[in-house]
Structure 1
């Protein structure tokens, strides 16, 4: 019955600023803004594939985490530069100072993280081909490729 996740919602401190960030910086499209309450809905993808809801919360803001699907090639070759040109600080899951994407070997998936202006933790993620290897933990893409070639 379940085919995927269609939408998620997060709290933001300033709705106008967040709409600007998600549309102008990340390229999402404004779908609807409810004038009766401080909420906006943004399309993710060209075909109304999924939606992000932004709820303005002036007090007791609770930050969240979610991930955007991306192509492996884009994450490897463009994501870090893309984020830097948008004045966003990329970081990996380990938060060890490296800005290189990491592989969650159990899935396997390649990911890089960054934050929105309110501190919500955002991620670009791509599922990799192959069988997951949970025993490898979280490793660099290079390590994943070396281990993957050893498994063939």
Structure 2
């Protein structure tokens, strides 16, 4: 019955700033802004394909994590420069100071992380072809390609 994940929602401290970040910096499209509550909905990808909800929360902000599906080529060749040009700090899952994508070998999937202005942990991820190799843990893409 379940075919996928359609939407997710995050709390943000300033709705206007967050709409600007997600639309102008990341390229999402504003779908609807609720005039009665501090909430906005944005399309991810094509209209009505996937949705992100932004809920303004002035106190007790609870940050979350979610991932944007991307191509392997975009993550390898474009993601780090894209984030840096937008004044965002890319980091890998290990948070070891290396700003290169890493592979979760059990899946396998290639990923790079960054944060929104409120500290929500965002990720660009691409599922890789082939069988997972959980024994490898989390490795660089170069290391993954050796196995």
What TM-score results when the alignment is normalised by the length of structure 1? 0.96
Structure 2 residue aligned with 1:53: 53
Structure 2 gaps, min length 5: none
Structure 1 residue aligned with 2:89: 89
Alignment of 1:1-150 (within 5 A): 1-147=1-147
Answer with 39-48 or 66-75: which moved more. Answer: 39-48
* SS of alignment partner, residue 99 of structure 2: coil
How far apart are residue 89 of structure 1 and its match?
0.1
Cα displacement string for residues 95-139 of structure 1 (whole angstroms, at most 9, x for unaligned residues):
000000000000000000000000000000000000001110000
Moved over 6 A (4+): none
* SS of alignment partner, residue 43 of structure 2: strand
What TM-score results when the alignment is normalised by the length of structure 2? 0.99
Q: How far apart in 2 are the matches of 1:48 and 1:77?
A: 28
CA RMSD of the aligned region, Å? 0.5
Structure 1 gaps, min length 5: 148-152
Between Structure 1 and Structure 2, how many residues are aligned?
147
